Structure 1
Amino acid sequence: TAGAYYWHRFYSHQPDLNFDNPEMRRALLQVVDQWLGMGVDGLRLDAVPYLYEREGTSCENLPETHEYLKELRRHVDERFPGRVLLGEANQWPEDAIAYFGSGDECNMAFHFPLMPRLFMAVHMEDRFPIIDILQQTPPIPQSCQWAVFLRNHDELTLEMVTDEDRDYMYRVYAQDREARVNLGIRRRLAPLLNNNRRRIELMNGLLFSLPGAPIIYYGDEIGMGDNVYLGDRNGVRTPMQWSGDRNAGFSLANPQRLYLPVITDPEYHYATVNVEAQQSNPHSLLWWTRRLIALRKRYKAFARGSIEFLYPENRKVLAFVRRYENETMLFVANLSRFVQYVQLDMSPYKGTVPVELFGLTEFPEVTDSPYFLTLGPHAFYWFALEKRHVEADAPGRGPEPASVPELSALTSGNGLFSSVGRGALEGVLPQYLRSRRWFGGKGRQIQAVEMIDAVDMPANGGPEAQLLLVKLSYVEGEPEIYLITVASAVGDEAEQVARNMPNSIIARVRRRPDEPPGVLYEAVNDKHFAASLLDSIAKRRRLKGSAGEIVTSPTEVFRQVRGGPDANIDPSPLVGDQTNSSVVYGDKLILKLFRRPDEGVNPDLEIGRVLTEEKPAVQVPAVAGYIEYRRHRREPMTLAVLQSYVPNEGDAWNYTLDNVGSYLERVLSKPAEAGPAGEFLPADDVLHLAGREMPDEVRDLIGTYLQSVGLLGQRTAELHLALASAGASAGFAPEPFTGLHQRSLYQSTRGLMASVFPALQRKVDSLQDGVREEARTVLGLEPEVLRRFQSILQGQLTGMRIRCHGDYHLGQVLFTGKDFVIIDFEGEPTRPLSQRRLKRSPLKDVAGMLRSFHYAAYSALFNQAARGIVPATRIANMEAWAGAWYKWVGASFLREYLHAMGESPIVPRRQDELSKLLSVLVLEKAVYEVDYELNNRPDWLRIPLRGVIQEIKHHH
């Protein structure tokens, strides 16, 4: 109509609504109800500062606008509680916060000024733009949140920057004038960053760690491109690229009917950059983004935490701390395209341990000194600053001082181990022992404590110290002997122990009522004491006690292993041993103290010496010395063994977990409904699979670990062949299986059942829900378990019994980077020493390793599920894939083991005998593990429970 007009704020094809019209407002509420009623979680309020028009004003931020927003918020909260109103107010933060009201207008608002400054900081390689804008961001109501983003459906707006900054952004990010529109840049994230994967990851890392809720624009999670030649902002609004099919999988329509054409730029072509392609690649940007989201969701500090910037001298590094309740997170980013080095003042967080969140790697503990980090180009770290999880024997931290017992003046000084002093010390030892990781009697009630002997050790420039041998008697079962190293300190030395090694303190000792107490503490954590142990072995010392003597002895290879006078042998206590305590001497030696010694030579020493002297080619550490305790007319007790230190990249357990994790990530890239089937998950057991050709799909998914596990099978066979042919005079000669020994194996398994199943029955109701059901299933399988064990009595077994490793699993093997070295020959620590020295089928070690593969498969899966990498909806599906990994890896190990054994008579020759014996030994190991986890690690119990179930059902 001639002379007609309408109001528009921005574009002529976008007329504004008339909010002064009550009918329009009612109609708008109907639209809101329609969408929220359909289940939409929230609504974006476009150009929210410009709802009303008033003569003589800029029509921006009018009071009427805020009144209407309050009305809209009340309407939504009353009808649809929990929904979100997100305000688009392209303003400086001090102006934009007005749209939160008092928590009664918008729930969220975009933080527009932050976005361009992220890009500026990365290109300038300077943290200032980010810190500057966040310092200008005022606090917001507790119930509200900023929405932060990198890109959206509009241009990268440059309204909220200075003229100079806008010119800079144009020059570095939009040299092509076609990319400029209005006061912004019409590009997607990937083209803006020149498709640089490191920069894309860095920008997302910044986005996800700064205050606010991150918003990802569709397509940026796969690195979609754009088309600046489509005009307006259409170049960043092209169809989502789902696949390489017609129209990028977005539509089956004629391509000419699409609202916008798909991207065909060679670098970002939809045939290459699409969801389907990246879904099948666990290293794609899509999967990396998913892992980033899952990780962020685990920590509330990212969403709600305060922010405290650190100011290192290197301005190319951005570092800040986010804190919320009991969470403290450290973020460090390298804004530069080159490697950077930074020193951080982390003294306010002294005593914490930075744990890198992506790999859960522990970094060195924070102290008063500057904290040093090196960062690769455009790299970033997410750390959780955690109080160190104190292992039971870690020297770092421990119980509160109030929980440490105090001994009276009568027990101090030289009278400590007098009759009165011994009684007092024996009274406090149970509390100390129960706090030790290496104490094996946690599930038993201590009846009495008796100190057998206390032997003085050379001071060697350090504190006075003793080796204590303590006998514990229990209400039920056999007594046990424990080795405790004790030193005393007073005055400044006691304060130093309390400050640096509080968890080592056994008791406080008060010499006089008017003096501060000294301390008794675990001496093995003292470097002077550790040095004295090595020195004693080198000098063949004999140290007298009240009931016996300690004898220290080097072996013939001691000097060769120790090295010359300039060799690095600085002692360092090793934290993390389960049943023993160890000290590493530089890069030459490692001393293992057996915390639970027994009469007789320890198999670790016995087997180690035989292999060192007779079979040096076998991949085991050389024995360089040992410490024994001897009493008249008693067999010696092995207290410690000194071995060559093996440079390594960690044990085979952690190496395997990394490989299982990679396998699971590859599997995750498959469609959710796909499960292992057919050749990938055959019905055959591991032994039968060992005789089959492995499908190519299996090799591709499991990867190079198959070669490693094959090498481990070969090394295991070489060990068994060496043990079968070494030291006949020392009781190493192979012995045949007899009916008597078969009966003995059955009786031992029957006795194990008689102990484990009642214990499981007693505790089943206290277990967690999922574990409880599996425990009840195992209890219901008790008759089947017994029948399986009885099968060992049927027929005469061939094969032979030899000295074995006895506690063989992935944690007992070191990975050097290209080979494996087998360690720890002491056997299962819960069994008496005499039983650990019995000859058994070498398949017992094989069964232990197969069970270890099973543990690795499921523990890696459960760990990834706990970290959010494996969605809860895919747990059942992924458990099947974990089972498939276990079967094929076990088969590969077994194949190479049997091949390396050749025609050796020490393993059964017939397939049925091999299958029966291996099945019984695997099941025995799983039942033993149920008992161990029930008493020590209930959270791990579901793994051996599942092993029992699978072993019975598989052979049923």
Structure 2
Amino acid sequence: MPEPVFSELIHRVKTHISVIYPELDAEKVTQRLLEIMRLDENTESPPNHKNHWSEQDVIAITYGNSLLRDGEKPLHTLHDFFKRHLTDTINSIHILPFYPYTSDDGFSVMDYSKVNDSLGDWVDVENISKEFRLMADLVINHCSSRSVWFENFKQGKDPGKDYFYTVPPETDTSLVVRPRTSPLLREVETPSGTQYVWCTFSHDQVDFDFHNIEVLYEFVKIIRLYLDMGVNIFRFDAVAFLWKELNTNCIHLPETHEAVRLLRTLVEHAVNDAVIISETNVPNHENLSYFGNGNEAHCVYNFSLPPLLLNTLITGSCRHLKRWLMSMPPPQVGTAYFNFIASHDGIGLRPAEGLLNDDELATLVNTVSLFGGKVSWRSANGINKPYELNISLFDALQGTHKGPDKHQVERFVCAHAIMLALEGIPGIYIHSLFGTHNDYARVENTSHNRSINRHQWQVDSLEAELDNKYSSHSKVFTRLKSLIQTRIRQPAFHPNAVQFTLQLGEQVFGFWRQSQNRSQSIFCIYNISDIEQNIPMAEINLIDTETWFDLISEQQITDLHGYLNLAPYQAVWLTNRKH
């Protein structure tokens, strides 16, 4: 007889399968899935509603080749740099797709089972996973049109001949939500005639057909391989589009959510502390749905934060950021927000829909254009709308909507001081650590807007900049490291610690965090304008029986009846307990 844990696992998987594939033999499919994941009577039950993270978790986001050294594989270079410069700062690394690919800087995967030879090999990946918690992408919606699977599709061979979603060319797809302006269908000749393959993103990114159970089996094999290689955190890329159904919008369908629940069940029984993060660049309320009932993604990308924070710092008003923060539900135990303000992609505007009006979005677009950025577009009901702002975050914060000014570094550090203190797990893009500028040469070379924020540093040149205390790169790196090192010592910055929004006017943004045992409070207060602000201490409501310190300046607050004077873009973390 199966052990009780295994019996419950079998029941849960069968239930998921019955919802997604009601026409299939759920017991047979379940048996196959458990075999692939190597789950049996000895499987241990994952802890219910447990946080697999703490205030010490900070994730660096990077490409495998963001750092280069002549004569050395980039994954080795990356590992070496992090060991020498960031072991006391960063404990987790998200390496963006490191597999063989054909386009989209890795997100058109040719072979999910291999490491791109130009980057290194699985040994390099495993070595990184031994010293840092490793996050990797599961590019689950589509693969490269030059993958073996798609080549087999074009030749009518297995595996692959029925792995891709096709529809007749006359199909009405007017309801389908699109993140791009390219035609949805790609015409392909096959032995059975002309087929029209669904391409949500580009014609080099052909969408899988998850109606075919064999596709699910393939991805479960991939997940098992990544777990074996030390991956502990999975980013489910573009998962919102996974399931297609005609006469629907083909996004966030019930089968998609059930598939996430199924994969979570399998993953957490295989490795109890593994984490799934859903990547759904959509309006805020849709994004939050991937928490499910605490049984889908452990974490969701906080996609509304980047455009709202950019809006705040270029306008000098935190009205929208404050309203949004007050509306965000606290995640239940075992789930968390994944906070970021810059990534390998641009600053998405869809997550700001309903939060910023058209004029405010236009101000963002115009300001980013003024600062040398690009704008990417999507098609919505036949109308092109701005989809994404492409610019390095450092250059995006070089001024306000009035133009560039002298506060670039302070404004940039302020943005990170906000993000690092918010409820959730912080993710910091590698180019934010260095204050990297727009890379126009790369855009010209690739003809892709997103390349503007995907610079490749020669390590020797980078380290020369970091050693020069007058360099903006050195100033940013030093100050962000200091902020992170302070953050990871504070229990009140646990991703699930209490958060309460403060009301300090439009030009001062603030919130209160309290540790889970209630022993530490931190009042996080920011001047988000280019004008000095003076806040009566009485408005902050500090308990006068406590001694208060600013964790950032390391100064004690001596007069609780006076004023808190904040220089432009100054951040303070006021606490009653220093750690």
Amino acid aligned to 2:544: K
Aligned residues: 356
**Aligned position for 2:421:** 209
SS at match of 2:568: coil
Amino acid aligned to 2:430: Y
Q: Does the 8 Å CA contact 2:373/2:391 hold for their aligned counterparts?
A: no
Equivalent residue for 2:451, pick from 230, 235, 256: 235
**Aligned position for 1:278:** 466
1:111 pairs with 2:305: no
* Partners of 2:466 and 2:298 in 1: CA distance: 34
SS at match of 1:9: coil
Amino acid aligned to 1:218: I
* Displacement after TM superposition at 1:154 (Å): 1.3
- The aligned runs of 1:895-914 (5 Å cut-off) are none
Q: Does the 8 Å CA contact 1:94/1:138 hold for their aligned counterparts?
A: no
The superposition leaves residues 448-472 of structure 1 with CA deviations (integer Å, 9 ceiling, x where unpaired) of xxxxxxxxxxxxxxxxxxxxxxxxx
Amino acid aligned to 1:15: V
* Displacement after TM superposition at 1:117 (Å): 0.7
**Aligned position for 1:342:** 535
The superposition leaves residues 252-277 of structure 1 with CA deviations (integer Å, 9 ceiling, x where unpaired) of xxxxxxxxxxxxxxxxxxx4xx2453
- The aligned runs of 1:429-578 (5 Å cut-off) are none
SS at match of 2:227: helix
**Aligned position for 1:789:** none
Distance of aligned partners of 1:177 and 1:191 in 2 relative to their CA distance in 1, 3 Å threshold? closer
Q: Does the 8 Å CA contact 2:553/2:572 hold for their aligned counterparts?
A: no
**Aligned position for 2:232:** 41
Q: Does the 8 Å CA contact 2:392/2:453 hold for their aligned counterparts?
A: no
1:179 pairs with 2:374: yes
1:21 pairs with 2:196: no
1:306 pairs with 2:498: yes
* Partners of 2:313 and 2:454 in 1: CA distance: 27
* Partners of 1:207 and 1:240 in 2: CA distance: 25
Equivalent residue for 2:277, pick from 55, 65, 86: 86
1:131 pairs with 2:131: no
Equivalent residue for 2:394, pick from 166, 171, 190: 190
- The aligned runs of 1:913-928 (5 Å cut-off) are none
**Which ranges in structure 1 are unaligned for 5 or more consecutive residues?**
245-270, 387-865, 868-956
Q: Does the 8 Å CA contact 1:219/1:240 hold for their aligned counterparts?
A: no
Amino acid aligned to 2:409: R
* Displacement after TM superposition at 1:17 (Å): 1.6
SS at match of 2:350: coil
The superposition leaves residues 173-219 of structure 1 with CA deviations (integer Å, 9 ceiling, x where unpaired) of 22378611121211111111228111111111111112211111122
* Partners of 1:97 and 1:178 in 2: CA distance: 29
Give the alignment's TM-score, normalised by structure 2.
0.58
Amino acid aligned to 1:338: I
* Partners of 1:331 and 1:237 in 2: CA distance: 29
SS at match of 1:221: helix
SS at match of 2:536: strand
**Aligned position for 2:359:** 164
The superposition leaves residues 283-316 of structure 1 with CA deviations (integer Å, 9 ceiling, x where unpaired) of 632222222111111113222222222223x421
Q: Does the 8 Å CA contact 1:6/1:15 hold for their aligned counterparts?
A: yes
Amino acid aligned to 2:425: A
Q: Does the 8 Å CA contact 1:181/1:232 hold for their aligned counterparts?
A: no
* Partners of 2:321 and 2:547 in 1: CA distance: 27
SS at match of 1:374: strand
- The aligned runs of 1:866-905 (5 Å cut-off) are none
* Partners of 1:117 and 1:127 in 2: CA distance: 9
Q: Does the 8 Å CA contact 1:88/1:110 hold for their aligned counterparts?
A: yes
Q: Does the 8 Å CA contact 1:352/1:365 hold for their aligned counterparts?
A: no
- The aligned runs of 1:58-69 (5 Å cut-off) are 58-69=249-260
* Displacement after TM superposition at 1:237 (Å): 5.3
Amino acid aligned to 1:335: I
Amino acid aligned to 1:310: L
SS at match of 2:486: helix
* Partners of 2:458 and 2:480 in 1: CA distance: 16
* Partners of 2:317 and 2:246 in 1: CA distance: 44
Q: Does the 8 Å CA contact 2:531/2:567 hold for their aligned counterparts?
A: yes
SS at match of 1:106: coil
* Partners of 2:465 and 2:371 in 1: CA distance: 30
* Displacement after TM superposition at 1:103 (Å): 1.9
Distance of aligned partners of 1:74 and 1:174 in 2 relative to their CA distance in 1, 3 Å threshold? same
* Partners of 1:177 and 1:363 in 2: CA distance: 41
- The aligned runs of 1:809-820 (5 Å cut-off) are none
**Aligned position for 1:51:** 242
* Partners of 2:271 and 2:458 in 1: CA distance: 33
* Partners of 1:318 and 1:177 in 2: CA distance: 28
Q: Does the 8 Å CA contact 1:19/1:52 hold for their aligned counterparts?
A: yes
SS at match of 2:547: strand
Give the alignment's TM-score, normalised by structure 1.
0.36
Which aligned runs of 4 or more in structure 1 are off by greater than 6 angstroms?
none
**Aligned position for 1:102:** 293
Q: Normalized per residue, which structure has more helix? A: 1
Q: Does the 8 Å CA contact 2:314/2:397 hold for their aligned counterparts?
A: no
Amino acid aligned to 1:190: F
Equivalent residue for 1:330, pick from 476, 500, 523: 523
SS at match of 1:351: coil
* Partners of 2:209 and 2:343 in 1: CA distance: 27
Distance of aligned partners of 1:174 and 1:350 in 2 relative to their CA distance in 1, 3 Å threshold? same
**Aligned position for 1:525:** none
- The aligned runs of 1:287-302 (5 Å cut-off) are 287-302=478-493
**Aligned position for 1:702:** none
Larger relative contact order, structure 1 or 2 (CA cutoff 8 Å, min sep 6): 2
SS at match of 1:185: strand
Amino acid aligned to 2:508: V
Q: Does the 8 Å CA contact 1:153/1:236 hold for their aligned counterparts?
A: no
Equivalent residue for 1:363, pick from 557, 562, 565: 557
* Displacement after TM superposition at 1:348 (Å): 6.1
- The aligned runs of 1:675-690 (5 Å cut-off) are none
* Partners of 2:291 and 2:279 in 1: CA distance: 11
SS at match of 2:513: strand
**Aligned position for 1:5:** 196
